[in-house]
Amino acid sequence: MTLTTFALIRHGQTDWNAERRLQGATDIPLNDVGRGQARDAVEVLSGYEWDAIVSSPLSRAAETADLIAHGLGLSVTRRVPELIERSFGRAEGLQAGPELEALRIPGGFRGAESEDEAAGRGLTTLDALAEEFRGRRVLVVAHGTLLRVTLSRAIGRTLQGIDNAVLNLAHHHPVGGWELEYFNGQRVMAAAQG
């Protein structure tokens, strides 16, 4: 059985992250803290050999991938449009409060991509990458909500928020599905398979 290994990294911090605003598909750049987080991620990621680095085309993920690739002495293989963050529609840019709550509906926000749609898009994309890079190691830089809902679906249990620029390590088995080894930089004690 051929195992494909993925490092799934959320981009570094942005000003909107620091302000606790929903970013979604809005293209908000990294801030200096985020750039430092990306550089710091290199230390953990350098413990592995990577065959490919792909990222979302949104600037916060693309720059994180570029900084990590530079630190590893590699280059980014390509940007993958299907890895953009879940769209939150009119809720993007809002902080918790009445204005955001007025847009809330079961499973998300009015006019936004549903959690289910985002998870389906994310898992389809990771499955395609697993097929393309079968038996290799792929470093993916994307977004917190997209990675959380995708991994939750892949392993069949609900995961909490994903931290900026930390290691989430998952393995794809062509027959057995997905197994999560590290989540938010911590080894998962009883790795689940989905």
Q: Which residues contact 177 (CB under 8 A, 6 or more apart)?
A: 154, 155, 193, 194
Known binding residue 14? Answer is yes
Residue 192 has pLDDT above 50, yes or no: no
Cβ contact 6:140 at 8 Å: yes
Per-residue tokens: 41: 């991620």
Note the pLDDT of residue 1. Answer: 62
Average pLDDT, the chain: 95
Phi, psi for 139 (deg, rounded to 5): -100, 120
Residue 194 has pLDDT above 60, yes or no: no
Per-residue pLDDT, averaged over 130-157, amounts to 97
Per-residue pLDDT, averaged over 39-52, amounts to 97
Cα separation, 12 vs 41, whole angstroms: 9
Cβ contact 30:59 at 8 Å: yes
Known binding residue 10? Answer is yes
Q: How far is CA 16 from the centre of its chain?
A: 17
% of residues, the chain, pLDDT over 90: 93
Note the pLDDT of residue 175. Answer: 87
Per-residue pLDDT, averaged over 101-105, amounts to 95
Cα separation, 194 vs 192, whole angstroms: 7
Q: Which residues contact 17 (CB under 8 A, 6 or more apart)?
A: 23, 34, 164
Known binding residue 153? Answer is no
Q: Which of 7-21, 62-76, 79-93, 101-115 has the lowest mean pLDDT?
A: 101-115
Instruction: Give the catalytic positions in this structure.
Output: 11, 85
Residue 2 has pLDDT above 90, yes or no: no
Note the pLDDT of residue 174. Answer: 87
Known binding residue 12? Answer is yes
Note the pLDDT of residue 193. Answer: 45
Q: How confident is the model at residue 189 (pLDDT cuts 50, 70, 90)?
A: low
